[in-house]
């Protein structure tokens, strides 16, 4: 059997080298699929078709399997995120403390539902399955920064600040 | 590395610490960090330098009472300060050697008195990124003792004797699991740590991995020695980036100290650990799904048997335990199985960490001896329900658990008692609900969770949870009928009996337990179109009002 040559990098973008690095570190083993997809998402912000194809070919995983993995796990996103992301925790403690009101306020203000990005591609609205800061519920992540004991007004204020940027 | 060398390291840390007159410990866990404890630490370091006093400022993991955060503890006096911000740094430093800062002092003695700390013994005491801090508190002593003075069977015997049961929630006897893997045929075996803390409303495992990562690694190494494994994996949620970073540092440090790698302690035992990231799937807490995920596949469960103990990761015998289970191993090996078995109730030994959250005054992380009464947790440790509201129920076990009503607070916390009450111990989420929570809505919340998280492999879970969600939504919106309720109960038993894995089998629990204890709330919604807690948005059609 001839030695396997991984496919060439999709472009000159340096980020592909990081992706390739993850695969090389794992000896291009199939089990590195999820690990590699994490690297793609942290480098590019999301997973597009080219990326999935590249990773699948490099690891010799059927494309259907790679796509299956991407769509199975909530953490992976097939769409580019907005410039800013507001993530409202929807864990139990946050729910008990009224996280649904925060979601409703953000939905109304942005005109989108969780999982979408506003039309001007500025702001993505997400919900999270518990970020582990339950003692400060309800919790919201503004661009990854954890804020606790958040009221609907706080969310709206932050959205306003982003809007005028 | 030998036991003597460990003691030398501990001694040098003690000598280093003795150079300081005061130790100012700053909690840097997520809850405190989200309130600016990093700035606070910087301010304390600056103030300490300016004061000329011999002060060590140390960052630590979670100290426990998160609602009082950011927390600072000054040693050796053990003065605890609450709600500290960077502006208080100078006052704290200048008070050292004199009277404590009265305005910041908090009295949480009642909160701590009922607690017993085994898993959290180092929480708030050590810098999680310094292996020597851990070694200074008897860290890795248990591993060395096991390797140099005990046989693998001796270790298993000690764990069995302790009566430790799986802390992920299932409560399977840990010693029995270990001996099954030890007896399994195969020269290659794996040890896996389940750090995929999926229960929304629980953060015990995150705190342990972030605040005391070496404890988990040591537990895994001892387990590996006992069952004859040479390779370990820690599967951590991708949502816990700090835990991943701390574990990565800890693994590197442990290798540097020769506590992981080849021929540990000069013995023939070799062991190393790799981290695997989860990707946001609750079902991956199920062992066969977790294994599939480590192998890089979709996290769908498989029917058991074969159990992972016989055929797990890549078909090899695999020991799979939860973070907290591994965190209990080192103290048991160090102090003996009997010591551990002396704590707790008859069939539930030791202590359990809970994430106490919801409508309770002192939210945070607690560790209590099993058998403790629920009211002690709520009233004494938790400080009761705030805001003049009354306690309605306690939810344990997350989406697989149930709600225990307020009149059952005399219940002792144990695997069996909680199961008998229609809930489960679970991994340790404990969410307090007061009279402003609607139990039908709570049930719907959990079923929605299970519906979204169902992997879709088996029909009872995939379709059943969706139908249950529809019925519960109808009831919440005031359009439900008594027939719907009947159908719902019927579906509960189908999903429970016929689902493939734990997710589906336990998904009806939140519905069943609320139906058992709060049936009147369901009836109110259906018959009187009224939500007693005022949570559900019920629109009464005009013709009904007329």
In this structure, the answer to whether residues A113 and A50 fall within a common structural domain is no
Q: Is residue A2 part of a domain?
A: no
Which residues in chain A touch residue B282, judged by CB atoms under 8 angstroms apart? 129
A20, part of any domain: yes
> If 0-12 CB within 10 Å is exposed, 13-18 middle and 19+ buried, where does residue B112 land?
middle
In a domain, B113, yes or no: no
- In a 3-state reduction of DSSP, which class is residue B193? strand
Residues B302 and B189 occupy one common structural domain: yes
Please tell me which of the candidates B31, B279, B359 has its beta carbon nearest to residue A136.
B31
Rounded-to-integer distance, Cα B315 and Cα B305, Å:
12
Number of Cβ within 10 Å of residue A62's Cβ equals: 10
Same structural domain, B193 and B78 = no
Indicate if A134 and A159 belong to the same structural domain: yes
Residues A97 and A84: their CA atoms lie apart, in Å, by 25
Give A-chain residues touching B298 at CB under 8 angstroms: 68-69, 72
A93 and B CB contact within 8 Å: yes
User: Do B329 and B462 share a structural domain?
Assistant: no
Tens-digit pLDDT profile for residues A54-77: 999 999 999 999 999 999 999 999
Q: Which residues contact B135 (CB under 8 A, 6 or more apart)?
A: B6, B9, B10, B13, B257
> Do B174 and B78 belong to one domain?
no
Q: Any chain A CB within 8 A of the CB of B33?
A: yes
Q: Which residues are B430's β-sheet partners?
A: B356, B396
Chain A, 98 to 127: residues with Cβ < 8 Å from chain B are none
Instruction: Judge if A113 and A140 occupy the same domain.
Output: yes
Same domain, A39 and A110: no
Domain-embedded: residue B535: no
Chain A interface includes B55 (CB < 8 A): no
What local confidence, expressed as pLDDT, does residue B107 receive? 84
Instruction: With respect to residue B1, please indicate whether it lies within any of the assigned structural domains.
Output: no
Chain A positions touching B431 (Cβ under 8 A) are 92-93, 96
> How close B535 gets to chain A, by Cα (Å)?
10
Q: Give yes or no for a contact between B321 and B177, defined as CB atoms under 8 angstroms apart.
A: yes
Q: How far is CA B194 from the centre of its chain?
A: 11
CA atoms within 13 Å, Cβ hemisphere of B479 = 8
**Which chain B residues in 357-396 lie under 8 Å from chain A, judged by CB atoms?**
357-359, 363-365, 395
The answer to the question of residue A5 being in a domain is no
Mark whether B381 and B457 lie in a shared domain: no
Domain count, chain A: 2
**Are residues B193 and B84 part of one domain?**
no
Dig out the tokens for B518 from the structure: 């709060």
- B469 to chain A, any CB pair closer than 8 A? The answer is no
Peptide bond into A127 cis (omega under 30): no
Count of beta carbons in the 10 Å neighbourhood of residue B346: 11
CATH number for the domain that contains residue B100? 3.40.30.10
On whether both B396 and B453 belong to a single domain, the answer is no
Which chain A residue is nearest to residue B396, measuring alpha carbons?
Answer: A92
| Residue closest to A108 by CA, chosen among A69, A156, A163, A145 | A156
Final residue in a domain of this structure, among B67, B90, B108: B108
Shared domain check, B261 and B333: yes
Q: Can you tell me the ipTM of this complex?
A: 0.94
- pLDDT, chain B, mean: 95
Q: Which positions in chain A touch B365 (Cβ < 8 Å)?
A: 135
A91 reaches B (C-beta below 8 A): yes
Q: Is the pLDDT of residue B139 over 80?
A: yes
| A102 assigned to some structural domain | yes
Mean pLDDT across B291-307: 96
* CATH classification at residue B478: 1.20.1440.230
The CATH number of whichever domain residue A105 belongs to comes to: 3.40.30.10
* Residue B453 is assigned to a structural domain of this protein: yes
Between residues 216 and 275 of chain B, which touch chain A (CB distance below 8 Å)? 238-240
Q: Are residues A100 and A65 in the same domain?
A: no
Closest Cα in chain B, distance from residue A135 (Å): 5
pTM of the model: 0.95
**What does the alpha-carbon distance between residue B200 and residue A93 come to, in Å, rounded to a whole number?**
8
Tell me if B131 is assigned to some domain: no
The answer to the question of residue A1 being in a domain is no
> Pick from B370, B399, B434: which residue ends a domain?
B434
The answer to whether A150 faces chain B, any CB pair under 8 Å, is no
Residue A142: count other Cβ atoms within 10 Å of its Cβ.
18
Strands (E), B288-345: 318-322
Instruction: Give the number of other CB atoms < 10 A from CB of residue B543.
Output: 6
Q: Is residue A160 part of a domain?
A: yes
Chain A 11-40, residues with CB within 8 Å of chain B CB atoms: 30-35, 37-38
Q: Which residue of A33, A90, A132 is in closest CB contact with B30? A: A132
Which residue reads 């090899």 in tokens?
B316
Give the tens place of pLDDT for each residue, A6-50.
899 999 999 999 999 999 999 999 999 999 999 999 999 999 999
Higher-confidence position of B542 and B170: B170
Is residue A120 in a domain?
Answer: yes
Chain A within 8 Å of B423 (Cβ-Cβ)?
no
Judgement on whether residues A26 and A97 belong to the same structural domain of the protein: no
Please say whether the beta carbons of B325 and B167 come within 8 A.
yes
Bridge partners of residue B355, in order along the sequence: B365, B429
**Same-domain status, A106 and A140:** yes
Q: How far apart are CA B162 and CA B107, in angstroms?
A: 34
Q: Where residue A115 falls among pLDDT bands split at 50, 70, 90? A: very high
Confidence class for position B542, pLDDT limits 50, 70, 90? low
Decide if B362 contacts B243 (C-beta within 8 A).
Answer: no
CATH of residue B366's domain is 3.10.20.600
Any A CB within 8 A of B431 CB: yes
B298·A97 Cβ contact <8 A: no
Mark yes or no for CB contact A134/B202 under 8 Å: yes
Tell me, yes or no, whether A60 and A93 share the same domain: no
**How far is Cα B24 from Cα B345, in angstroms, rounded to an integer?**
37
Instruction: Tell me the C-alpha distance between B52 and B506, whole Å.
Output: 59
Q: Which residue among A31, A37, A137 places its CB closest to the CB of B357?
A: A137
Confidence check: pLDDT of A1 > 90: no
**What percent of chain B shows pLDDT beyond 90?**
95
The pLDDT of residue B533 is 95
Residue A127 lies in a domain: yes
Give yes or no: residues B383 and B330 share one domain.
no
Cα–chain center distance at A27: 26
Domain co-membership, A118 together with A149: yes
| Residue B116 included in any domain | no
Domain interval for residue A49: 15-72
CB contact under 8 A, B201 and A130: yes
Residues B144 and B205 in one domain: yes
B341 or B69, which is more confident: B341
Q: Which domain holds residue B29?
A: 9-108
Could you tell me if A22 and A36 are in contact, meaning their C-beta atoms sit under 8 angstroms apart?
yes
What pLDDT does B165 receive? Answer: 97
DSSP A105-155: HHHHHHT--TT-B-TTS-EEEEEES--S-GGG-S-EEETTEEE-S--HHHH
Query: With an 8 Å Cβ cutoff, are A74 and B280 in contact?
Result: yes
Find the helix or strand (DSSP H, E) in which A88 lies. strand A84-89
- Does B536 map to a domain? no
- Residue A72 to residue B281, Cβ atoms within 8 A: yes
Asked if residue A57 and residue A33 are part of one domain, the reply reads yes
Q: A95 with A150, same domain?
A: yes
pLDDT reported for residue B538: 86
Instruction: Note the pLDDT tens digit of each residue in B466-506.
Output: 999 999 999 999 999 999 999 999 999 999 999 999 999 99
Domain shared by A90 and A143, yes or no: yes
Is A128 an 8 Å CB contact of chain B? yes
Task: Enumerate the residues of chain A whose CB falls inside 8 A of the CB of residue B433.
Answer: 96
The total domain count for chain B is: 4
Decide if A78 touches B, using CB distance below 8 A.
no
Contacts with B398 from chain A: Cβ below 8 Å:
92
Residue B70's pLDDT band (cuts 50, 70, 90)? very high
Residues of B in contact with A92 (CB under 8 A): 199-201, 357-358, 395, 398, 429, 431, 445-446
**If phi over 0 gives left and psi between -120 and 50 gives alpha, with beta otherwise, what is residue B97?**
left
Domain membership flag for residue B542: no
**Are residue B69 and residue B210 in the same domain, yes or no?**
no
Which residues of chain B lie closer than 8 angstroms to A132, CB-CB? 30, 197, 202-203, 206-207, 239-240
Interchain pair B239, A75: CB under 8 A: yes
Neighbours of A91 (CB within 10 A): 30
Are the beta carbons of B230 and B452 closer than 8 angstroms? no
Please choose, from the candidates B75, B99, B74, B78, the residue with its C-alpha nearest in 3D space to the C-alpha of residue B89. Answer: B74
For residue A4, name the pLDDT band (cuts at 50, 70, 90): confident
Please name the residue of chain B whose CA is at the shortest distance from the CA of residue A42. B238
Q: Do B373 and B256 fall within a single domain? A: no
């Amino acid at each position: 059997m001839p030695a396997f040559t991984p496919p060439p990098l999709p472009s000159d973008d340096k980020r592909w080298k990081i992706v390739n690095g993850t695969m090389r570190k794992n000896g291009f083993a199939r089990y590195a699929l999820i690990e590699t997809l994490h690297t793609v998402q942290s480098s590019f912000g999301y997973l597009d078709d080219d990326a999935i194809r590249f990773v699948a070919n490099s690891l010799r995983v059927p494309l259907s399997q790679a796509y299956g993995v991407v769509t199975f796990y909530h953490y992976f996103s097939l769409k580019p995120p907005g410039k800013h992301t507001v993530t409202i925790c929807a864990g139990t403690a946050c729910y008990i403390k009224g996280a649904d009101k925060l979601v409703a306020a953000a939905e109304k203000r942005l005109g989108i539902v969780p999982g979408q990005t506003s039309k001007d591609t500025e702001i993505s609205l997400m919900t999270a399955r518990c970020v582990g800061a339950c003692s400060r519920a309800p919790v919201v992540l503004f661009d990854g920064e954890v804020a606790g004991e958040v009221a609907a007004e706080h969310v709206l204020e932050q959205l306003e600040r982003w809007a005028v940027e | 590395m030998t036991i003597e060398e460990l003691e030398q390291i501990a001694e040098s840390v003690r000598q280093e610490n003795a150079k300081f007159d005061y130790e100012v410990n700053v909690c840097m866990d997520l809850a405190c960090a989200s309130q600016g404890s990093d700035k606070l630490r910087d301010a304390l370091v600056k103030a300490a330098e300016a004061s000329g006093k011999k002060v060590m400022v140390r960052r630590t993991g979670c100290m426990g009472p998160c609602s009082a955060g950011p927390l600072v503890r000054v040693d050796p006096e053990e003065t605890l300060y609450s709600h500290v911000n960077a502006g208080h740094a100078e006052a704290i430093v200048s008070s050292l050697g004199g009277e404590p800062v009265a305005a910041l002092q908090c009295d949480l003695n009642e909160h701590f008195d009922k607690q017993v700390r085994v898993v959290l013994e180092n929480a708030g005491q050590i810098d999680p990124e310094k292996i020597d801090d851990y070694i200074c508190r008897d860290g890795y002593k248990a591993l060395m003792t096991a390797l140099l003075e005990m046989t693998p069977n001796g270790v298993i015997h000690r764990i069995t004797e302790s009566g430790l049961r799986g802390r992920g929630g299932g409560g399977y006897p840990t010693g029995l699991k270990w001996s099954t893997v030890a007896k399994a045929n195969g020269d290659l075996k794996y040890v896996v740590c389940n750090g995929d803390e999926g229960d929304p409303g629980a953060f015990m495992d995150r705190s342990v991995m972030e605040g005391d990562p070496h404890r988990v690694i040591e537990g895994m190494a001892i387990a590996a020695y006992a069952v004859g494994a040479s390779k370990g994996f820690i599967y951590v949620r991708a949502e816990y980036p700090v835990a991943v970073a701390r574990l990565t540092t800890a693994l590197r440090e442990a290798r540097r100290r020769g506590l992981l790698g080849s021929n540990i302690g000069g013995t023939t035992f070799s062991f190393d650990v790799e981290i695997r990231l989860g990707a946001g799937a609750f079902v991956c807490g199920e062992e066969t799904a977790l294994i599939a995920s480590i192998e890089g596949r979709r996290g769908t469960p498989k029917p058991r048997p074969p159990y992972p103990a016989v055929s797990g990761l890549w078909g090899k015998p695999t020991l799979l335990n939860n973070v907290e289970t591994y965190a209990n191993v080192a103290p048991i090996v160090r102090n003996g199985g009997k010591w551990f078995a002396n704590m707790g109730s008859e069939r539930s030994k030791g202590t359990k960490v809970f994430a106490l959250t919801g409508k309770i005054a002192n939210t945070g992380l607690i560790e209590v001896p099993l058998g403790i009464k629920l009211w002690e947790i709520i009233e004494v440790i938790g400080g009761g329900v705030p805001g003049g509201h009354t306690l309605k129920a306690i939810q344990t076990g997350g989406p697989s658990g149930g709600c225990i009503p307020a009149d059952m607070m005399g219940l002792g916390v144990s695997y069996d008692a909680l199961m008998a009450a229609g809930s489960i111990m679970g991994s340790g989420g404990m969410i307090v609900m007061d009279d402003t929570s609607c139990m039908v809505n709570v049930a719907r919340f959990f079923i929605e969770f299970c519906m979204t998280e169902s992997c879709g492999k088996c029909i009872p879970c995939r379709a059943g949870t969706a139908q249950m969600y529809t019925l519960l939504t109808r009831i919440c919106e005031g359009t439900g009928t008594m027939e719907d309720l009947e159908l719902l109960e019927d579906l509960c038993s189908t999903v429970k009996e016929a689902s493939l894995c734990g997710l589906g089998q336990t998904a009806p629990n939140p519905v069943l337990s609320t139906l058992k204890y709060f049936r009147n709330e369901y009836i109110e919604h259906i018959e009187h179109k009224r939500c007693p807690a005022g949570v559900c948005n019920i629109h009464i059609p005009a013709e009904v009002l007329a």
